[in-house]
Chains A and B, each alone.
Chain A
Amino acid sequence: GEDVEQSLFLSVREGDSSVINCTYTDSSSTYLYWYKQEPGAGLQLLTYIFSNMDMKQDQRLTVLLNKKDKHLSLRIADTQTGDSAIYFCAEKKGGSYIPTFGRGTSLIVHP
C-alpha cells in the first residue's frame, strides 16, 4: 500500500469548516507537513507538526495528530473560496532528506 494516503476530493460550502484527512504507515515518521498548491503554482508549506505533538493551531488552521492510528488531519475554519487548492500531506523520518507525499486532496469551496 501507499506510504501516505489521502482522499482525492473534498467539497465544502463557503463559511463551513473543512477537514482534510491523511494516514501514513511509518511509525518512525518524525515530521508531518501540510502543503498547499494553488492552481498553476508550486507547493507552499502551510504548517507542520512534530511527531511528539498532538495538536497545532495557527489562525484558521488546526492540525491534529493521532500517533496510535497514524492519522493526521488539517481543519480549516471558516473556509473561503481562496482556500480552493490541492492540499498535500507529507511525512519525513528524522534521518532522511526526503519527505514522502500523499497524492493530494483537491478542496473545492462553493458559495
Chain B
Amino acid sequence: DVKVTQSSRYLVKRTGEKVFLECVQDMDHENMFWYRQDPGLGLRLIYFSYDVKMKEKGDIPEGYSVSREKKERFSLILESASTNQTSMYLCASRPSGTSGNEQFFGPGTRLTVL
C-alpha cells in the first residue's frame, strides 16, 4: 500500500521560530510537492522537487524553503514563522515524467503560529 507520511498532524509554534515540516514517501517517487490549503483558496503550490537536490518554486514560495537530500524525504522549512503561515500543509508525491500519474497525498500537518 502506497504511503506518504508527514512528521506531525498538529503543530503549534511561536512567531519567529524556525519550523521544519517533514514528508516521507515509500514509493520511490521522483517528484514531491508541498502545498498549503486554506479555506476558500484550495491548494496552492509552495515548492516542488522533481528529483534529489532539485527544487522549483511554486506559486507562493515567499517565506518558505525546502530541502531534498534523499529521494524519499522532502522537507519544508519556515525560516521565521509568521501568523499568516497558519495553515494546513499537504505533501504529495508522484512518479517521474509528465504522464497522467496521480499524486499521492500525506494526511496533512495543521500548523498554528501564535
- A→B interface (CB under 8 Å): 8, 30-31, 33, 35, 40-45, 48, 50, 88, 92-99, 101-104
How many residues of chain B are within 8 Å of chain A by beta carbon? 23
* List of B residues within 8 angstroms of A88 by Cβ: 42-43
A42-B105, A48-B102, A95-B98 in contact; A103/B41 too (CB < 8 A)?
yes
Q: Which A residues are CB-close (under 8 A) to B102? A: 33, 45, 48
Q: Cα distance A97–B58 when bound, in Å?
A: 12
**12 more CB-based (< 8 A) A-B contacts, given A45-B102, A98-B48:** A35-B105, A42-B90, A42-B107, A43-B90, A43-B103, A50-B100, A93-B98, A94-B98, A98-B58, A101-B42, A102-B42, A104-B42
Bound together, the chains give a CA A35 to CA B94 distance in angstroms of 14
Q: How far is the CB of A43 from chain B (nearest CB, A)?
A: 4
Residue in B closest to A8 when the chains form the complex, CB atoms: B40
Contact partner, B50, options A31, A44, A97, Cβ 8 Å:
A97
Q: Are B42 and A97 in contact (CB under 8 A)?
A: no
Closest to A42 in B: B105
A41 touches B107 (CB 8 A): yes
Interface residues of B (CB under 8 A from A): 4, 31, 33, 40-43, 45, 48, 50, 58, 90, 92, 94, 98-100, 102-103, 105-108
A-B contact pairs, 21 of them (CB 8 A): A8-B40, A30-B100, A31-B100, A33-B102, A40-B107, A41-B107, A42-B105, A43-B103, A43-B105, A44-B105, A45-B102, A45-B103, A48-B100, A48-B102, A88-B42, A92-B100, A97-B94, A98-B33, A101-B42, A101-B43, A103-B40
